[in-house]
Amino acid sequence: MKHELLIKKIISLALEEDIGKGDITSIAIIRKNQKVVGKFLVKENGVIAGLSIAKQVMKTVDSKIKFKTFVQDGSKVNQGDIVAEVSGNARSILTAERTALNFLQRMSGIAAASSIYAEAVAHTKAKVIDTRKTAPGLRILDKMAVKVGGCDNHRFGLYDMFLIKDNHIEIAGSITNAVNDCRKFMQKKKKKFLIEVETKNLAEVEEAISADVDIIMLDNFQIKDMIKAVKMINGKSKVEASGGINLSAIKSVAETGVDFISVGGLTHSVKALDISLEITLH
């Protein structure tokens, strides 16, 4: 329910931003009761995601619009595929068109990239996960698309997991101090959260092991040091590799034995999938 309300708010804000006081072009050109059919046409190969969001956009503008899907989110699609059809009032459909496509194209681009990364590590135990490097205000949709594409989600925000990074360690004085502070916080609040610690070298890995944390992040480690760190940790904590890992490097990283590989590029610099809405008169 919480996510449903958040998505509804995101869609409302996006429509308000685009429509303002009204779609003056459609109002000027199209007669009030004109009916049309629109087909969502995929113009390049990829993975589709966000059809339910596109439908919700259309229905928010005009509840009488009919929206029919021909594939499910997560389906691989090819150039020329029609993934959905919308029919109803022409003004309403054209008013909702760009917002619906913006969501559908971005989410499909994220899903397509996630699918490629997931396939690259499928022969290992490693799971590719996202980060908080998402478009402001669109995190829930970005993370939904990552899952659709076959990768996993990291923490959603600052509130659902401890992630002790280098700046926290600098302020606390040490990894040990920072971890102890987090445990005191949990005792005070009577709540349990996972604790993850970012490490920059093998000495910090050793301290994180002694602190008995849930996840140890290996930040910008060379492959040889990553292998050593995984052996040192030896299953005492889960291990996450992080730091500018791209598709060309991810296979080697996964084969070191890490549990997770975080990839900010899944969401922060994604290329939208090329999709258009082709309109014909009803």
Tokens representing 83 are 């993934």
Cα 189 to Cα 177: distance, rounded to the nearest angstrom: 18
Cα 85 to Cα 117: distance, rounded to the nearest angstrom: 30
Q: Of the listed 130, 198, 204, 259, which one is catalytic?
A: 198
Q: Of the listed 8, 9, 76, 165, which one is catalytic?
A: 165
Tokens representing 64 are 């009488």
Q: Of the listed 39, 132, 133, 155, which one is catalytic?
A: 133
Residue 62: alpha-carbon gap to chain centroid: 28
Q: Of the listed 39, 98, 183, 228, which one is catalytic?
A: 98
Cα 91 to Cα 75: distance, rounded to the nearest angstrom: 30
Q: Of the listed 44, 62, 152, 219, which one is catalytic?
A: 219
How many Å is the Cα radius of gyration of the chain?
A: 23
**98 labelled catalytic:** yes
**181 labelled catalytic:** no
Amino acid (one-letter) located at 275: I
**32 labelled catalytic:** no
Cα 49 to Cα 51: distance, rounded to the nearest angstrom: 6
Beta pairing partners, 261: 128, 241
Q: Which long-range contacts (CB under 8 A, 24 or more apart) does 177-182 make?
A: 179/208, 179/211, 179/213
Max Cα-Cα span within the chain = 72
By DSSP bridging, strand 82-89 and strand 35-42 are: antiparallel
**278 labelled catalytic:** no
Cα 107 to Cα 59: distance, rounded to the nearest angstrom: 19
**133 labelled catalytic:** yes
Residues belonging to the active site = 98, 133, 165, 198, 219
